[in-house]
Amino acid sequence: MADIPDIFRAELALPDLAATAQLAGRIAPRLRAGDAVALWGDLGAGKTTLARDILRALGVTEDVPSPTFTLVQTYETAALTVAHYDLYRLKSSRELFELGFREALDDGAALVEWPERAPEYLPDGTLHLRLRIEDGGRAVKITGPSRWDGIA
């Protein structure tokens, strides 16, 4: 498969929480309505931490729990509404539709943990962040539309 020129790709070491927060600080101001950020990775890879840091960078000051049991938490920020999804407990990808995913994208942006549970619902322009534990810290492989160039 040939490389598609409008795709941004990067890999980045995240040796500590500060590096994760810095990445979140570069992602947050670029989010706009219709954006989905897919957070891939095993348990403990840092998906919730990165989602929380993106929300903090958008000005969320309230508690940001993992939506593991609620499946979705919605936050109003000065810039846009952001829905934080955790799909780990989905029994069927159809449940994402039932959780108002399309409406969330119409109204704002979505952060999606465990996107492999419903990949067919992710929009074409999704920013994919594949997190992994590496060398005592974390690393991330980033792919998405070229407008994300510069976040790594």
Q: What is the pLDDT of residues 66-122, one digit of tens each?
A: 777 788 999 999 989 999 999 998 888 888 888 889 999 999 999 999 999 899 999
Buried b (16+ CB within 10 A) or exposed e, 114-141: bbebbeebbeeebbbbebeeeeeebbbb
Q: Are 37 and 69 in contact (CB under 8 A)?
A: no
d(CA 35, CA 4): 20
| Residue 56 zone, left/alpha/beta (φ > 0; ψ -120 to 50; rest) | alpha
Q: Is this structure's pTM higher than 0.85?
A: yes
Query: For 5, phi and psi rounded to 5 degrees?
Result: -65, -20
Q: Which residue has the tokens 């810095």?
A: 22
23 within domain boundaries: yes
Instruction: Give residue 28's domain range.
Output: 7-148
DSSP letter at 4 equals: P
Q: What pLDDT score does 39 carry?
A: 97
Q: Are 111 and 37 in contact (CB under 8 A)?
A: yes
Q: Are 81 and 107 in contact (CB under 8 A)?
A: yes
d(CA 13, CA 152): 9
Higher-pLDDT residue of 70 and 15 is: 15
Instruction: List the single range of 8-12, 46-50, 66-70 with lowest mean pLDDT.
Output: 66-70
What CATH number does the domain containing 108 carry?
Answer: 3.40.50.300
* Averaged pLDDT, 18-45: 95
Q: How many domains in the chain? A: 1
Q: What pLDDT score does 5 carry?
A: 54
Q: What pLDDT score does 2 carry?
A: 44
2 within domain boundaries: no
* Averaged pLDDT, 46-67: 91
1 within domain boundaries: no
